[in-house]
């Protein structure tokens, strides 16, 4: 089963890598925003896309297009993301190709769910927070990436 794991460079990516045991035995494809991060997932297919946030609309559209192209070509059964904007595009593209989608909001979002996460909440099948006080009927808490 093909799984796409997508996160922007930096903390989001580090958090994603800490979930690796969950992906064991899957045909895993990674997407991030820094080409050098491919080195941190040897043996796995890796694509880089331009980074963009919602404050730069043109770049955001270009990034969304790049993410979409990869996901349409790869046809994954599952998309999992730890954020941020590229991850949001990933789960939306995932829904369009009929994949199951999972969002894990970054542990950095302590007081409230992230902006990308709030939008993702409308699209994803499963939504996890890493803080118990942020869990609701739709938002699952099952511990965090720090243990």
Partner 1 sequence: MIFVTIGTQGPFDRLIRTVDRAAEYFDDPIVAQIATDGKYAPVNMKTSAFMPYSEFHEHFRKSRMIIAHAGMGTIINALVEYKPIIILPRLAKYGEQRNDHQWDTAKALEKLGYVHAAYDEDELFEKLKLFATTGLKPLHSIGEFAAGELITALRKDLNHHTALSDHPSFEMRST
Q: What is the binding site for partner 1 (CB under 8 A)?
A: 1, 3, 9-15, 18-24, 26, 34, 36-37, 39-40, 53, 55, 77-78, 80, 98, 100-102, 104, 106-111, 114, 121-122, 124-128, 131, 137-138, 140, 142-147
DSSP state string for 58-92:
HHHHHHHHHHHHHHHHH--SEEEEEESHHHHHHHH
76/97 Cα distance (integer angstroms): 8
The answer to whether the beta carbons of residues 11 and 87 sit under 8 Å apart is no
Rounded least distance, CB 26 to partner 1, Å: 6
**42 φ/ψ sector (left φ>0, alpha ψ -120 to 50, else beta):** beta
Rounded least distance, CB 124 to partner 1, Å: 7
Q: For the chain, how many helices (H) and strands (E)?
A: 4, 7
Q: What does the block give as tokens for 56? A: 């730069």
Cβ-based nearer residue to partner 1, 74 or 114: 114
Cβ-based nearer residue to partner 1, 58 or 143: 143
Cβ-based nearer residue to partner 1, 69 or 130: 130
Rounded least distance, CB 126 to partner 1, Å: 5
Rounded least distance, CB 115 to partner 1, Å: 8
């Amino acid at each position: 089963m093909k799984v796409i794991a997508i996160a922007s460079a930096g903390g989001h990516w580090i958090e994603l890598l800490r979930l690796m045991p969950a992906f064991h035995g899957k045909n895993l494809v990674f997407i991030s925003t820094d080409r050098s991060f491919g080195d941190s997932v040897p043996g796995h297919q890796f694509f880089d896309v331009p980074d963009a946030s919602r404050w730069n609309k043109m770049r955001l559209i270009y990034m969304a297009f790049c993410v979409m192209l990869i996901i349409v070509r790869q046809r994954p059964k599952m998309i999992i993301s730890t954020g941020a904007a590229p991850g949001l595009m990933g789960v939306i593209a995932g829904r369009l190709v009929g994949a199951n989608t999972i969002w894990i909001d970054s542990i950095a979002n302590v007081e409230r769910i992230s902006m990308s996460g709030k939008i993702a909440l409308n699209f994803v099948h499963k939504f996890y927070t890493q803080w118990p006080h942020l869990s609701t009927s739709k938002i699952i808490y099952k511990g965090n990436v720090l243990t």
